[in-house]
Structure 1
Amino acid sequence: MALKSFDELFKLDLTDEVAKRPVKKNSNLTLDYLEWANCIKLLHENGAETVKYGMNKNENNYPCFFNHNGEAPFVSVWVEIDGERYEEDYPVVNGIYVVNQPNQLDINKAKQRGFVKAVAINTGLGLGLWIKEEQVLNNDKEVQKEMNKDEGKSLNDQITKLFAQSLQKVGTKEHLYDMLQSSKDEVSKLYRSNDHSAKKILIGQLEVILNDNVNE
């Protein structure tokens, strides 16, 4: 028996199969999600003969990837259903919070969620849950506020790290501020602000300074 069509799996009633999780710390707002084991069970119940999944490894043979600053961790999951292979990248998060220094448990949870999402996108099974999740995260003001706060902390951490590295390269703070065409007071004010766009510009400037100095 072949796996049911995308439309059939998308319309499958998952009422008795889903679990709930809070969207953020101490929140009464919850989201329905399909656990990886139930996902495998449902695939087999609806026509799949074989279901396999695993993780791609980075250059150090480790199952987690990071951006060029060693941040924004994500996993790369592969899924094979009856010989059809799919891949999906999934961030290492705890609810809406990025896990900047993930342990093995964090990585395994991201692997499982990445598997479920890959199945949803490519087969339709559970896709409605992901659509609903996107709607909640995009429309709930408290969630948006918390996500904005979390991003702000991440950007500040990047600025702190890159500023220290750039300072080592150029020698003095005065020289570094001149290269940034800014001042200590302006950078401090930006650091305390909620202007994420300006923070990203500063991060880009610091990265250019680092790369220029590295290549000299």
Structure 2
Amino acid sequence: MDNKGNTFSANYNKKAGRSIKTTNQMKQEYASWADAWAIFKQSYENGAYRVHFFDVPSEYGVKKMPYYVDENMGILVGIELSLNGVDYFPPILLPVLDAKKKSMKVKSYNYLVKDKNGKPEEKKVEAVDMADINRATMRCLVKAIAIITGIGLEFWSKEDNLQLDPDITVEEMKELNERIAHMGLSLNALIKATSKNMNKPALRLEDFTESMYRFLSHQLDLMEENPDKIDACLKKKVAKNAGRQEEFTMPEFVASNM
């Protein structure tokens, strides 16, 4: 296959994403299929794509379908990309996901998450429809362009990092709350310190990820072993002035034991 002009490093540095605000007001990089396709065509004038068709067994034999369905695991779509309009790379695949990154299936199903108070709450994943298939197919195009040319690849690396660090569990939140209360420490100060040390935004324990949980657990272990070194601003106290809770600074003890 002719890969002339496929300057991967140069493509990787091209801006294919845009910043958007999520529902929790945090910024996230997002590469639309239109932006990715426009940049791709500027670099590869004869470039093209086609939807991958899967071999799906049926009672009438094998038929070709633009998606693959597994009743238990979900649905896959695929894109085949060409840089010259003639030779196509093997298909790049993508699962059909909802807005919460949950696999969509032919039938709706429920799963458990934690609410703002850390209590289990049931959520529903709706049954897939053709609009979902179409959206996933165009997201798959963005992924194919990123993997093969480097355009927009940074966006996918950030998304993968988020998926590799799952949310804190209800049991882990309960454990941290109990330990912090037992040690007489300020939950607010510890959340701020953990967020700053790990460079991850968090206002509550519910905002924590698994890595943040492990970090704070380790800090609590150190504090239990060295209670005389606990920074004063970590201890619970209320400002006498106007009865307001005192503002906490960055605890040196936590920062020095990353």
TM-score (norm 1): 0.55
* 1:141-169 CA-partner distances (Å, limit 9, x unpaired): 35xx59xxxxxxxxxxxxxxxxxxxxxxx
Q: 1:119 to 1:9 in 2, by over 3 A?
A: same
User: Which blocks of at least 5 consecutive residues in structure 1 are unaligned?
Assistant: 147-216
Does residue 46 in structure 1 map to residue 72 in structure 2?
no
* 1:20-43 CA-partner distances (Å, limit 9, x unpaired): 374xxx544453121111111101
Does residue 11 in structure 1 map to residue 13 in structure 2?
yes
CA distance in 2 between partners of 1:3 and 1:81 (Å): 9
Q: Paired residue for 2:92?
A: 88
More strand by share: 2
What is the root-mean-square deviation of aligned Cα atoms in Å? 2.5
Contact 2:50 2:80 in 1 (8 A): yes
Contact 2:67 2:75 in 1 (8 A): yes
More helix by share: 1
Shift of 1:58: 3.7
- Structure 1 stretches (4+) deviating beyond 4 angstroms? none
For the pair shown, which has the larger CA radius of gyration, 1 or 2?
2
Report percent identity of matched pairs: 18
SS in 2 for 1:125: coil
Shift of 1:73: 1.1
User: Which blocks of at least 5 consecutive residues in structure 2 are unaligned?
Assistant: 57-62, 107-127, 171-258
Q: 1:21 to 1:118 in 2, by over 3 A?
A: farther
* 1:59-108 CA-partner distances (Å, limit 9, x unpaired): 243322123x4542111222222134121111000131111122111111
**Mapping 1:162-201, distance limit 5 Å:** none
Q: How many matched pairs?
A: 137
Shift of 1:140: 5.4
SS in 2 for 1:20: strand
Contact 2:19 2:27 in 1 (8 A): no
Contact 2:77 2:137 in 1 (8 A): yes
Match of 2:134 among 105, 108, 115: 108
Contact 2:33 2:139 in 1 (8 A): yes
Contact 1:36 1:116 in 2 (8 A): yes
Q: Paired residue for 1:128?
A: 154
Does residue 20 in structure 1 map to residue 20 in structure 2?
yes
Q: Paired residue for 1:98?
A: 103
Q: 1:84 to 1:124 in 2, by over 3 A?
A: farther
Contact 1:10 1:125 in 2 (8 A): yes
CA distance in 2 between partners of 1:13 and 1:35 (Å): 12
Opposite residue 119 of structure 1, the aligned amino acid is: I
Q: Paired residue for 2:79?
A: 77
CA distance in 1 between partners of 2:88 and 2:64 (Å): 21
TM-score (norm 2): 0.47
CA distance in 2 between partners of 1:73 and 1:27 (Å): 28
CA distance in 1 between partners of 2:14 and 2:78 (Å): 27
SS in 2 for 1:32: strand
